[in-house]
C-alpha cells in the first residue's frame, strides 16, 4: 500500500525490511492450509465424527498460530475459523484476533476483521468496547470503502453504549456528499434510534433534505428512518405531517415515470420504495382526516394502475390496501380495497390467498358486510392443503358467523372439524360452542350442534365444551332434554373411547334416565334401552380400560342418580357401587363408600339428595366481541366468585357440605335442607356422617379456583366439586339467601330483605367509606343503577355498583357487565344476586386499576335481565366518573 508514495529512502528501507521479515516468517512457519482446502477436507468427511476430527485439528492449529502472533496468515486463519463457526462449532477464541485485523491498515484484513466482528462478537463481551474505538477511527477514514465497512458493522452490532458513543459521527456522515456513505449512515441512524430512542433528536435536522434526493437508495433509507422516528414519538409524527405532499409526489413519479432499467422489478418501478412510502403514509394518515384527504387520490391511482399479474404488483396493492384501511380514507376507496382483497382470495398464488385472509381478518371488525360477500371463498380455503391458510380461514370463518348464516356455516365448519388436525380441534370446537350459544336459531338445533361437535372433535375438546353442553342441556325444556338424551344414548352405543361425549352422555342418562326408559313415544335408531341394558353399559364403562378416571367419576355419580330414576334394579346398582368401595383410585373409592351409605343406613336421604338438577343459569358473557372497540382482550371479566368460595369454605355448615357433596342443584338443596332435620330419625348419626364427609371435604378446596363455569360439574364429581359447585350457596350459610340468589322460582319479601342485607354485608367496607362519591349512571324504566366510587390506598378505584328495581315486576337473570378502555384493568367481584324483586337491590363491587396515570376512566355497561319472560338488554356508557 505504501509503495507508490514517491521517493522516500527511509520509507523504502522500512518497506524492504518488512518484506524481508515476512519472507523469513514464511520460511520459518509452514504454510497453513488454504481456506479452500479446509472446506474440501470438511466436505470430504463422511461422518459427523470425521468432520469433528478435521475441525478439531484445524482449530488446534489456528489456536497455536494465534499464540505465536502470526500476523502473516492471520487473515486466512480467521477466515477458516468463520467457516468452522458457521458449521456450529465454537470459535470465540478468534475474537481478539478479529480486533487485530480491524486495526490493520490493509483493506483485506479489515474486511475479514469486520466480518468477524459481526459473526463472532456478542454485545456482552468486553471486546465490544475495544471495537468502538476502531469503528470511530474508520468512520473518519478518507477511503469510502473503509467507512462503508465500519457502517455495515455498526448497523449489525450496535449496542446501546456504542450507539451513544458514535451517534455524532453518524450524524456527520449522514450529510456526506457521497451517496454510498450517506445511505449507509442513514440506516445506521435508524439502528441507533432503535437501540436508544432518546438519540433521535440529533438526527432530526439531517432528515430534512433526504426526501429531495433523486437517488433511490437514499430515498428508501430516508423513508425507513423517518418511519422509525414517527413511530417513536407523537411529536415527531406531527413534525413530519408536512412531508405528506413530498411523499405523494415521489410515489406519483414512481408510477408515472415509465420504464427505468435501474430500479425495474418485473415491470414495476422500485416496488420496495413504493411499499416503504405507502407504509409511512399509513402512519402519517392514521387518525388524521386532513393528511388522509391528501393521500386519497394517489392511493386510488396506485390501486388502479398497478399491474397485478405478478407478485411485485400484488406486493404494492397489499400495502395500499393496508394503508387505505388504516387511514381515514373515503368510503369508495375502502370498497375498492376490500374488492382487491376479494380478488386476492381467488388468486392462484397461495401466498396471495394467505395475505388476503390475513388482511380480511384485520378488517372484519371494520366492515363485516364487505367481508361477508367473500364468505364462500373463505370457506373454500378451509380445504386448502396449507395449514397456515386453513388456520387463517378458520379464524375468519368464525368471525363471519352471525344469526342469519349460522346454519349453513355450522354445517361447513362441522365438516372441517371432523377432518381437522388435532391442533385445530380444540380451538375450533370451543369456538363452535361459543358461536352456537350466541346465534343458535332453536334449542334443538343448538343441542344437535353441540352433540355433533362432541362427536367430531372427540377427545380433543377442551373441558369448557363438556361443561357448557351440560349447562345447555340442563337449561333446556324437558322434551328437548329427553330428545338429546336419546341422541347421546345412541351415540355412545357406537363408540366409547370418546371421553367428553361419554361424560355428557352419562350425565344425561343420570339426570333424565327415567324419561328415556319409560316414555313410550320415543324413537330410537338402535334398540330401545331397558334398565338392564343401561346398567350393563355402566358396568362395562366403569371397568373398561378405555374409559378414563374422570369419565368413571361421571359414570359413578350418574349411576347413583339413576338408582332413584329406575323402577327396579336398585340392587344391581348397589352392587356395582359397593364394589367401588375398594377401588384402587382413591377418588372413585371415596365415591363408592359414600354412595354405599345412601343405600344403607341413609337410604331415606337418597331420593331427595339425588333429585334432578335444576336448570343451570348461563352466566357466560358471550357478547364480548360485539361490544365494539372499547373491550380489549381479557377485560371482560366473568362474574366469578370462586375466590370467595374458597375463603368462605370454612364457615359452611355441615348440612351444606353434605348437600353440596351430593351435588344437587340450588333449589333442591334449599328445599331439602328444610326437610332434613324433621325427617331424620337418628340425628346423632347424621351428624357423624356429616362430620365425616365434612372432614373429607375440607381437604379439597384447592381445586375450585379456576373453575369459571361454576355450576356445570356439580352432578358429576361431587366430592371435589362440593366447594365449587354453586358458589352462592357454599358461600353463604343462610339458606333463605341462597334460595333467593339462585332463585329461579321467584322469591318473597323475606328473601328480598336478606338479599338486600347480604349486599350490605358484602359491601360494607365500601359503604362505610365516607369518601365514596355516588353517581347515577343509568335510570330507565324504573331501573336505577348507581356507582359509589372511592379510591383505595392509591392502589385501585373501588366502584360499588348498586341496582335498584323500582318497578312492580320481578327481574330475573339480572346480569351486569362492564368494560373499560385498554389503559385500565377491571376486576369484577361477584354480584349479590341475579333476581331483582320489586324494590329489590343488587350490588356488585368492581375494582379498577389504571395502567397509565393520564388516562381518563370510561366504562361501557351492558345490562341484561328477563322481565315477564322477555329478555331485555340495555347498554350505557359512563364517562363522568368523579375525581377520587
Partner 1 sequence: MIRFILIQNRAGKTRLAKWYMQFDDDEKQKLIEEVHAVVTVRDAKHTNFVEFRNFKIVYRRYAGLYFCICVDVNDNNLCYLEAIHNFVEVLNEYFHNVCELDLVFNFYKVYTVVDEMFLAGEIRETSQTKVLKQLLTLNSLD
Residue-wise over 833-870: b if at least 16 C-beta within 10 A, else e? bbbbbeebbbbbbbbbeeeeeeeebbbbbbbbbbbeee
Of 66-74, 284-292, 351-359, 409-417, which part binds partner 1 (CB under 8 A)? Answer: 351-359
Which DSSP symbol is given to 836? B
Answer yes or no whether residue 275 interacts with partner 1 by CB under 8 A: yes
Stretch (H or E) spanning 413: helix 406-419
Is there a contact between 32 and 79 (Cβ–Cβ < 8 Å)? Answer: no
Is there a contact between 303 and 340 (Cβ–Cβ < 8 Å)? Answer: yes
Shortest Cβ distance from residue 191 to partner 1 (Å)? 4
Contacting residue, 54, 127, 217, 246, with partner 1 by CB under 8 A: 217
Shortest Cβ distance from residue 72 to partner 1 (Å)? 16
Q: Binding string to partner 1 for residues 48 to 77, with x set by CB under 8 A, is what?
A: ------------------------------
Answer yes or no whether residue 319 interacts with partner 1 by CB under 8 A: yes
Q: In terms of CB distance, is 355 or 576 closer to partner 1? A: 355
Answer yes or no whether residue 80 interacts with partner 1 by CB under 8 A: no
**What are the cell numbers at 269?**
418501478
Answer yes or no whether residue 241 interacts with partner 1 by CB under 8 A: no
Footprint of partner 1 on residues 453-492 (CB under 8 A)? Answer: none
Shortest Cβ distance from residue 370 to partner 1 (Å)? 22
Assign residue 636 a region (left: φ > 0; alpha: ψ between -120 and 50; beta: otherwise). Answer: beta
**What are the cell numbers at 650?**
370454612
Give the contacts of 84 (CB within 8 A, at least 6 positions apart): 55, 58, 59, 91
Euclidean distance between CA atoms 55 and 87, whole angstroms: 10
Of 318-326, 508-516, 538-546, 691-699, which part binds partner 1 (CB under 8 A)? Answer: 318-326
Euclidean distance between CA atoms 261 and 373, whole angstroms: 41
**What are the cell numbers at 343?**
380478488
Assign residue 782 a region (left: φ > 0; alpha: ψ between -120 and 50; beta: otherwise). Answer: left
State how far the alpha carbon of 615 is from the alpha carbons of 475, 511, 664, 803, in Å. 4, 11, 11, 25
Contacting residue, 77, 95, 207, 224, with partner 1 by CB under 8 A: 224
Shortest Cβ distance from residue 447 to partner 1 (Å)? 36
Site size toward partner 1 (CB under 8 A) is 70
Contacting residue, 152, 202, 630, 767, with partner 1 by CB under 8 A: 152
Is there a contact between 472 and 618 (Cβ–Cβ < 8 Å)? Answer: yes
Shortest Cβ distance from residue 2 to partner 1 (Å)? 16
Contacting residue, 19, 24, 87, 855, with partner 1 by CB under 8 A: 87
Q: How do the residues of the chain divide into helix, strand and coil, expressed in percent and rounded to 5?
A: 65, 10, 30
Answer yes or no whether residue 190 interacts with partner 1 by CB under 8 A: yes
Shortest Cβ distance from residue 207 to partner 1 (Å)? 15
Answer yes or no whether residue 599 interacts with partner 1 by CB under 8 A: no
Answer yes or no whether residue 240 interacts with partner 1 by CB under 8 A: no
Shortest Cβ distance from residue 63 to partner 1 (Å)? 18
Q: Is 177 exposed, middle or buried (0-12, 13-18, 19+ CB in 10 A)?
A: exposed
Answer yes or no whether residue 761 interacts with partner 1 by CB under 8 A: no
Stretch (H or E) spanning 753: helix 749-767
Q: In terms of CB distance, is 110 or 731 closer to partner 1? A: 110
Nearest to 772 by CA among 787, 751, 750: 787
Shortest Cβ distance from residue 246 to partner 1 (Å)? 20
Answer yes or no whether residue 94 interacts with partner 1 by CB under 8 A: no
Euclidean distance between CA atoms 135 and 131, whole angstroms: 6
**What are the cell numbers at 670?**
334449599
Answer yes or no whether residue 156 interacts with partner 1 by CB under 8 A: yes
Answer yes or no whether residue 10 interacts with partner 1 by CB under 8 A: no
Helix axes 531-543, 549-565, angle to 10 degrees: 160
Which DSSP symbol is given to 842? E
Answer yes or no whether residue 446 interacts with partner 1 by CB under 8 A: no
Q: In terms of CB distance, is 119 or 618 closer to partner 1? A: 119
Which DSSP symbol is given to 197? G
Is there a contact between 511 and 474 (Cβ–Cβ < 8 Å)? Answer: yes
Neighbours of 353 (CB within 10 A): 23
Answer yes or no whether residue 118 interacts with partner 1 by CB under 8 A: yes
Contacting residue, 99, 151, 379, 676, with partner 1 by CB under 8 A: 151
Euclidean distance between CA atoms 533 and 403, whole angstroms: 41
Q: In terms of CB distance, is 381 or 762 closer to partner 1? A: 381
Euclidean distance between CA atoms 244 and 829, whole angstroms: 50
Answer yes or no whether residue 79 interacts with partner 1 by CB under 8 A: yes
Q: In terms of CB distance, is 121 or 721 closer to partner 1? A: 121
Shortest Cβ distance from residue 5 to partner 1 (Å)? 18
Summary count for the chain: helices (H), strands (E): 41, 10
Q: In terms of CB distance, is 392 or 612 closer to partner 1? A: 392
Q: In terms of CB distance, is 222 or 665 closer to partner 1? A: 222
Answer yes or no whether residue 658 interacts with partner 1 by CB under 8 A: no
Contacting residue, 50, 123, 201, 575, with partner 1 by CB under 8 A: 123
Shortest Cβ distance from residue 293 to partner 1 (Å)? 25
State how far the alpha carbon of 276 is from the alpha carbons of 217, 224, 250, 341, in Å. 12, 7, 11, 20
Answer yes or no whether residue 273 interacts with partner 1 by CB under 8 A: yes
β-partners of residue 783 are 780, 805
Q: Give the long-range contacts of residues 389-396, CB within 8 A, separation 24 or more.
A: 389/350, 389/353, 389/354, 389/357, 390/420, 390/424, 391/424, 392/354, 392/357, 392/358, 392/361, 393/357, 394/424, 394/427, 394/428, 394/431, 395/361, 396/357, 396/360, 396/361, 396/364, 396/371
Shortest Cβ distance from residue 107 to partner 1 (Å)? 5
Of 56-64, 265-273, 543-551, 634-642, which part binds partner 1 (CB under 8 A)? Answer: 265-273
Answer yes or no whether residue 155 interacts with partner 1 by CB under 8 A: yes
Q: In terms of CB distance, is 56 or 143 closer to partner 1? A: 143
Contacting residue, 315, 452, 468, 655, with partner 1 by CB under 8 A: 315
Q: In terms of CB distance, is 265 or 637 closer to partner 1? A: 265
Answer yes or no whether residue 39 interacts with partner 1 by CB under 8 A: yes
Answer yes or no whether residue 797 interacts with partner 1 by CB under 8 A: no
Residues that bind partner 1 (CB under 8 A): 35-36, 39, 43, 79, 82-83, 86-88, 90, 92, 107-108, 111-112, 115, 118-119, 122-123, 145, 151-152, 155-156, 158-159, 180, 183-184, 187-188, 190-191, 194, 216-217, 220-221, 224, 261-263, 265, 270-273, 275-276, 279, 311-312, 314-315, 318-319, 322, 350-355, 385-389
Amino acid at each position: 500500500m505504501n509503495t507508490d508514495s514517491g521517493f522516500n529512502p527511509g520509507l523504502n528501507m522500512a518497506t524492504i525490511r518488512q518484506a524481508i521479515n515476512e519472507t523469513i516468517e514464511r520460511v520459518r512457519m509452514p504454510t497453513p492450509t488454504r481456506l479452500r482446502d479446509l472446506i474440501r477436507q470438511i466436505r470430504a468427511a463422511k461422518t459427523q465424527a470425521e468432520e469433528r476430527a478435521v475441525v478439531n485439528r484445524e482449530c488446534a492449529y489456528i489456536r497455536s498460530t494465534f499464540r505465536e502472533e502470526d500476523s502473516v496468515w492471520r487473515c486466512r486463519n480467521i477466515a477458516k475459523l468463520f467457516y468452522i463457526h458457521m458449521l456450529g462449532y465454537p470459535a470465540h477464541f478468534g475474537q481478539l484476533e478479529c480486533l487485530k485485523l480491524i486495526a490493520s491498515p490493509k483493506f483485506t484484513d479489515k474486511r475479514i476483521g469486520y466480518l468477524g466482528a459481526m459473526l463472532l462478537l456478542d454485545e456482552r463481551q468486553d471486546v465490544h468496547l475495544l471495537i468502538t474505538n476502531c469503528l470511530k477511527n474508520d468512520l473518519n477514514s478518507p477511503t469510502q470503502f473503509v467507512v462503508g465497512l465500519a457502517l455495515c458493522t455498526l448497523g449489525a452490532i450496535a449496542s446501546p453504549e456504542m450507539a451513544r458513543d458514535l451517534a455524532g459521527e453518524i450524524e456527520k456522515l449522514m450529510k456526506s456528499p457521497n451517496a454510498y456513505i450517506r445511505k449507509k449512515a442513514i440506516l445506521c441512524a435508524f439502528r441507533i434510534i432503535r437501540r436508544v430512542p432518546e438519540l433521535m433528536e440529533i438526527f432530526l435536522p439531517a432528515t430534512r433534505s433526504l426526501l429531495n434526493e433523486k437517488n433511490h437508495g437514499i430515498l428508501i433509507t430516508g423513508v425507513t428512518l423517518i418511519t422509525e422516528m414517527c413511530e417513536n414519538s407523537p411529536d415527531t409524527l406531527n413534525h413530519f405531517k408536512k412531508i405528506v405532499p413530498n411523499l405523494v409526489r415521489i410515489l406519483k413519479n414512481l408510477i408515472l415515470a415509465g420504464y427505468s432499467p435501474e430500479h425495474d422489478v418485473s415491470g414495476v418501478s422500485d416496488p420496495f420504495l413504493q411499499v416503504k412510502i405507502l407504509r409511512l403514509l399509513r402512519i402519517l394518515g392514521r387518525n388524521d382526516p386532513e393528511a388522509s384527504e391528501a393521500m386519497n387520490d394517489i392511493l386510488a391511482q396506485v390501486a388502479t394502475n398497478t399491474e397485478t399479474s405478478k407478485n411485485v404488483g400484488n406486493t404494492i396493492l397489499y400495502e395500499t390496501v393496508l394503508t387505505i384501511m388504516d387511514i381515514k380514507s373515503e368510503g369508495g376507496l375502502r370498497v375498492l380495497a376490500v374488492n382487491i382483497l376479494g380478488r386476492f382470495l381467488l388468486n392462484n398464488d397461495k401466498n396471495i390467498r394467505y395475505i388476503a385472509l390475513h388482511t380480511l381478518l384485520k378488517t372484519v371488525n371494520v366492515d363485516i358486510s364487505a367481508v361477508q360477500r367473500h364468505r364462500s371463498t373463505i370457506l373454500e380455503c378451509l380445504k386448502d392443503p396449507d395449514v397456515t391458510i386453513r388456520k387463517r380461514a378458520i379464524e375468519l370463518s368464525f368471525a363471519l358467523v352471525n344469526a342469519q348464516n349460522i346454519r349453513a356455516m355450522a354445517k361447513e365448519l362441522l365438516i372441517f372439524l371432523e377432518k381437522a388436525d388435532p391442533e385445530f380441534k380444540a380451538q375450533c370446537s370451543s369456538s363452535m360452542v361459543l358461536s352456537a350459544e350466541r346465534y343458535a336459531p332453536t334449542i334443538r338445533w343448538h343441542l344437535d350442534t353441540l352433540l355433533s361437535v362432541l362427536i367430531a372433535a372427540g377427545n380433543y375438546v377442551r373441558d369448557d365444551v363438556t361443561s357448557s353442553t351440560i349447562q345447555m342441556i340442563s337449561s333446556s325444556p324437558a322434551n328437548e332434554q329427553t330428545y338429546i338424551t336419546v341422541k347421546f344414548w345412541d351415540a355412545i352405543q357406537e363408540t366409547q373411547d370418546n371421553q367428553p361425549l361419554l361424560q355428557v352422555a352419562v350425565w344425561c342418562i343420570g339426570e333424565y334416565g327415567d324419561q328415556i326408559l319409560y316414555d313410550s313415544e320415543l324413537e330410537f335408531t338402535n334398540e330401545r334401552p331397558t334398565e338392564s341394558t343401561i346398567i350393563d353399559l355402566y358396568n362395562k364403562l366403569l371397568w373398561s380400560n378405555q374409559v378414563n378416571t374422570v369419565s368413571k367419576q361421571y359414570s359413578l355419580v350418574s349411576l347413583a342418580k339413576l338408582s332413584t330414576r329406575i323402577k327396579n334394579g336398585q340392587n344391581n346398582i348397589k352392587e356395582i357401587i359397593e364394589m367401588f368401595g375398594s377401588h384402587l383410585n382413591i377418588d372413585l373409592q371415596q365415591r363408592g363408600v359414600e354412595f354405599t351409605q345412601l343405600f344403607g343406613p341413609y337410604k331415606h336421604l337418597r331420593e331427595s339428595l339425588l333429585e334432578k338438577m335444576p336448570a343451570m343459569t348461563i352466566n357466560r358473557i358471550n357478547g364480548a366481541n360485539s361490544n365494539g372497540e372499547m373491550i380489549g382482550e381479557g377485560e371482560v371479566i366473568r362474574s366469578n366468585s370462586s375466590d370467595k368460595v374458597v375463603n368462605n369454605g370454612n364457615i359452611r355448615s355441615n348440612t351444606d357440605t353434605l348437600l353440596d357433596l351430593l351435588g344437587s342443584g340450588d333449589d333442591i338443596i334449599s328445599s331439602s335442607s328444610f326437610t332434613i332435620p324433621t325427617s331424620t330419625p337418628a340425628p346423632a348419626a347424621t351428624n357423624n356422617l356429616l362430620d365425616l364427609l365434612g372432614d373429607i371435604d375440607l381437604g379439597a378446596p384447592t381445586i375450585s379456583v379456576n373453575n369459571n363455569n361454576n355450576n356445570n360439574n356439580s352432578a358429576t364429581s361431587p366430592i371435589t366439586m362440593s366447594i365449587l359447585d354453586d358458589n352462592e350457596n357454599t358461600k353463604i350459610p343462610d339458606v333463605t339467601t341462597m334460595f333467593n340468589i339462585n332463585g329461579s322460582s321467584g322469591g318473597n319479601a323475606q328473601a328480598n330483605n336478606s338479599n338486600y342485607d347480604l349486599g350490605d354485608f358484602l359491601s360494607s367496607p365500601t359503604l362505610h367509606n365516607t369518601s365514596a362519591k355516588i353517581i347515577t349512571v343509568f335510570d330507565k324504566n324504573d331501573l336505577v343503577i348507581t356507582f359509589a366510587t372511592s379510591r383505595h390506598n392509591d392502589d385501585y378505584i373501588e366502584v360499588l355498583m348498586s341496582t335498584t328495581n323500582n318497578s312492580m315486576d320481578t327481574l330475573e337473570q339480572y346480569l351486569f357487565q362492564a368494560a373499560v378502555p385498554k389503559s385500565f384493568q377491571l376486576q369484577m367481584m361477584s354480584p349479590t344476586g341475579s333476581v331483582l324483586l320489586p324494590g329489590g337491590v343488587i350490588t356488585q363491587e368492581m375494582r379498577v386499576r389504571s395502567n397509565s396515570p393520564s388516562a381518563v376512566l370510561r366504562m361501557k355497561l351492558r345490562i341484561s335481565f328477563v322481565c315477564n319472560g322477555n329478555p331485555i338488554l340495555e347498554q350505557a356508557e359512563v364517562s363522568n366518573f368523579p375525581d377520587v
